[in-house]
Amino acid sequence: MNLTAAIHARLVGDVTLTALLSEYLGEPAVFTSDPAPGNAVLPYLVSAGQVTDRAFDTKNSRGRQVWRDVRCYAPASGSAALVETIAERVRVLLHRYAMEVDGHETWVSEASGPTGADEKDAYGRIVSLRLMLVEV
């Protein structure tokens, strides 16, 4: 599977996380396109495209280092507790998790954050994922 599908599968496959999210068209609200659909209801996640994607080659291998953000949003209700809980769960799910990406082996999977990304009507947090993938 490709990287986007691997991240999506990891996130929607966790019942603890999906219990915290709304649904969209009968599925957990985890979006791989940006922006999220206009009729999506908070809370939800967005992970669309790499922040960076560069070569990571060694003498004997070809690979890539990828940075991907997972943005977590919840209603601005006066408390950021929900978005913090969601973001911490995302971090737990992605940190040190070997992604199953076609033609690649995961050497490093490191999640950092969450960092703040509040908006006018929503609280936001970003979990940044760094992957080092080597071709097999």
Q: What is the pLDDT of residues 51-99, one digit of tens each?
A: 788 888 888 889 889 999 999 999 999 999 999 999 999 999 999 999 8
What percent of the chain stands above pLDDT 70? 100
**Spatial separation of the C-alpha atoms in residues 9 and 120, rounded to whole Å:** 30
pLDDT at 35 exceeding the cut of 80 = yes
* Strand ranges inside the chain, DSSP E: 23-24, 27-28, 30-31, 44-46, 52-55, 63-75, 104-116, 122-135
Q: What is the maximal distance between C-alpha atoms in the chain?
A: 53
**Spatial separation of the C-alpha atoms in residues 36 and 89, rounded to whole Å:** 20
In the predicted model, what is the mean pLDDT of residues 15-20? 98
Give the predicted TM-score (pTM) of the model: 0.91
In order of 9, 64, 65, 108, the CA distances from 104 in angstroms are 17, 9, 12, 12
Q: What fold characterizes domain 3-135?
A: STM4215-like (3.30.2000)
Q: Mean pLDDT in the chain? A: 93
User: Among all chains, which residue has been given the structure tokens 């691997």?
Assistant: 6
